[in-house]
């Protein structure tokens, strides 16, 4: 399994090398082009602030007030009915909303039940196989000024649900 | 829709805090998080500047075009309303590749850039296009081959086999990505029918 770590450490430097070598061969003014492209990043990061701040503050209020816990408690029986283990329910519900909260929960589940327990493996798989829909929508649409999102949120949330169910089924079959 | 969710979380949270006696926590969390959000945006700046700079070189050197040409048959089916030689294709592929290899900090800048290129196809509209929704669906279901963060956590808690969840993650991710594309197609066909 060592090779996996090696692959991820080598990947980025190798990509940089490839881009720079090909750029030089193709006679691109590399440094100037880099600076020109990078300038865009500053504008983007600054324009993201209100979108991220607004969304994160709302989530923080929701969580700090205890409302998130209450909603999770409300939906728990429903998800348990579909076969979601009760310890995993909070993670399943929070995963699409808050990346940091979900990562915290995953760490906690792995810490309490052990990384090689069924729950530890399930939480790991769940954490790895879906992403924070609300964050992605906020950042991607916010950065380019899309106001009417159409079906994006619906599609994203349904996809998350599919991912959660898929994780449970796959982990049950492989490690069950 | 997003307005509703936003108000539901913030207003709902405040009303809940009234009865739950957690108003002090709400107050504290509120401004702490506002602070965190600015810090997060600023810390995003470093990766945005770096990757957008590097990708600009890649674009000018024709590397993105090569990548796009290689995967064109597949990607053209997923994003039928993006013209073949449009730079959006190259950025979409870079974003997906970065996600595949767990390079989260490279994926976000390229994803934003891909969105920007797709926006250029409809400069006067602030509505999400078909391709944007598809792209978003693929991203939220997170195509990953190496879930680096999770492996790191498992190592920290002394797992006997920290990487044993790689296979289950890949299968789960494939199912959810495939599901996301199907759901996206389904909603697209609903939209089309409504217009007719």
Q: Per-block average pLDDT, block size 10, for chain A (176 residues)?
A: 65 88 95 92 87 89 90 84 82 85 88 92 89 88 85 90 91 86
Same domain, A101 and A151: yes
The minimum CA-CA distance between A76 and chain B, rounded to whole Å, is 19
Tens digit of pLDDT at every position of chain B (196 positions) = 678 888 999 999 999 999 999 999 999 999 999 998 898 888 888 888 998 899 899 889 988 888 888 888 888 889 998 888 788 888 998 898 888 776 667 788 889 999 999 999 988 888 899 999 999 999 888 777 778 778 888 888 888 888 888 889 989 999 999 999 999 999 999 988 887 7
All residues of chain B having their beta carbon less than 8 Å from the beta carbon of residue A151 are 133, 184, 187-188, 191
Q: For residues B159 and B143, give the distance between their C-alpha atoms in angstroms, rounded to a whole number.
A: 24
**B189 Cβ under 8 Å from any chain A Cβ:** no
CA distance A124 to A157: 19
User: Do B54 and A54 make contact, defined as CB atoms within 8 angstroms?
Assistant: no
Query: DSSP per residue over chain B, as a string?
Result: -HHHHHHHHHHHHHHHHHHHT-HHHHHHHHHHHHHHHHHHHHHHHHHHHHHHHHHHHHHHTTHHHHHHHHTHHHHHHH-TTS-TT-HHHHHHHHHHHHHHTT-HHHHHHHHHHHHHHHHHTSTT--BPPHHHHHHHHHHHT---S--HHHHHHHHHTT-SSTTTHHHHHHHHHHHHHHHHHHHHHHHHHHHHHHH-
Tell me if residue A18 falls in helix, strand or coil.
helix
Judge if A102 and A29 occupy the same domain: no
Asked whether residue A126 falls in the same domain as residue A158, the answer is yes
Same-domain check for residues A98 and A33 = no
User: How many domains does chain A divide into?
Assistant: 2
| Residue A161 within a domain | yes
The pTM of this model reads 0.84
Q: Does residue A113 sit within a domain?
A: yes
- Is A37 domain-assigned? yes
Nearest residue in chain B measured CA to CA from A163 = B176
Nearest residue, CB atoms, A129 vs list B54, B154, B176: B176
Say yes or no: A18 contacts chain B, CB-CB below 8 A. Answer: yes
Whether residue A89 is found in the same domain as residue A32? no
Residue range(s) defining the domain that contains residue A18: 1-48
Give the ipTM of the model, two decimals please.
0.83
Tell if the CB–CB gap between B61 and A124 is shorter than 8 Å: no
Same-domain check for residues A76 and A31: no
Residue B143 touches chain A, beta carbons under 8 Å: no
- Asked whether residue A58 is domain-assigned, the answer is no
**Distance in Å, alpha carbon of B95 to nearest chain A alpha carbon:** 12
Q: Establish if A163 belongs to a structural domain.
A: yes
Q: What is the pLDDT of residue A2?
A: 61
- Min distance A86 CA to chain B CA atoms (Å): 20
Q: Which residues of B touch A119 (CB under 8 A)?
A: none
């Amino acid at each position: 399994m060592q090779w996996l770590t090696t692959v991820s450490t080598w990947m980025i430097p190798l990509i940089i090398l490839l881009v720079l070598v090909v750029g030089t061969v193709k006679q691109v003014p590399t440094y100037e082009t880099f600076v020109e492209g990078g300038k865009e990043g500053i504008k983007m990061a600054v324009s993201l602030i209100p979108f991220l701040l607004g969304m994160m503050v709302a989530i923080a209020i929701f969580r700090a007030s205890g409302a998130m816990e209450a909603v999770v408690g409300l939906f728990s029986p429903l998800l348990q009915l579909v076969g979601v283990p009760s310890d995993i329910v909070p993670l399943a519900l929070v995963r699409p909303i808050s990346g940091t909260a979900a990562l915290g929960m995953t760490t906690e589940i792995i810490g309490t039940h052990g990384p090689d327990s069924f729950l530890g493996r399930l939480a790991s798989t769940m954490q790895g196989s879906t992403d924070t829909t609300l964050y992605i929508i906020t950042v991607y649409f916010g950065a380019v000024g899309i106001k009417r999102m159409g079906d994006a949120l619906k599609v994203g949330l349904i996809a998350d649900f599919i991912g959660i169910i898929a994780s449970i089924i796959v982990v049950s079959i492989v490690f069950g | 829709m997003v307005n509703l969710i936003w108000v539901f979380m913030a207003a709902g949270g405040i009303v809940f805090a009234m009865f739950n006696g957690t108003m002090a926590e709400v107050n504290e969390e509120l401004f702490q998080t506002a602070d965190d959000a600015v810090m997060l945006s600023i810390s995003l700046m470093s990766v945005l500047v770096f990757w957008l700079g590097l990708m600009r070189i890649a674009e000018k050197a024709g590397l993105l075009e090569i990548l796009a040409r290689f995967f064109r048959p597949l990607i053209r089916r997923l994003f039928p309303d993006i013209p073949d030689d449009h730079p959006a294709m190259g950025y979409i592929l870079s974003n997906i590749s970065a996600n595949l290899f767990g390079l989260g900090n490279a994926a976000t800048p390229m994803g934003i850039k891909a969105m920007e290129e797709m926006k250029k196809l409809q400069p006067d509209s602030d509505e999400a296009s078909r391709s944007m929704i598809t792209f978003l669906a693929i991203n939220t279901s997170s195509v990953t081959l190496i879930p680096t963060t999770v492996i790191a956590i498992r190592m920290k808690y002394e797992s006997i086999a920290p990487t044993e969840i790689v296979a289950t993650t890949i299968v789960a991710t494939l199912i959810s990505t495939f599901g996301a594309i199907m759901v996206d197609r389904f909603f697209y066909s609903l939209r089309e029918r409504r217009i007719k």
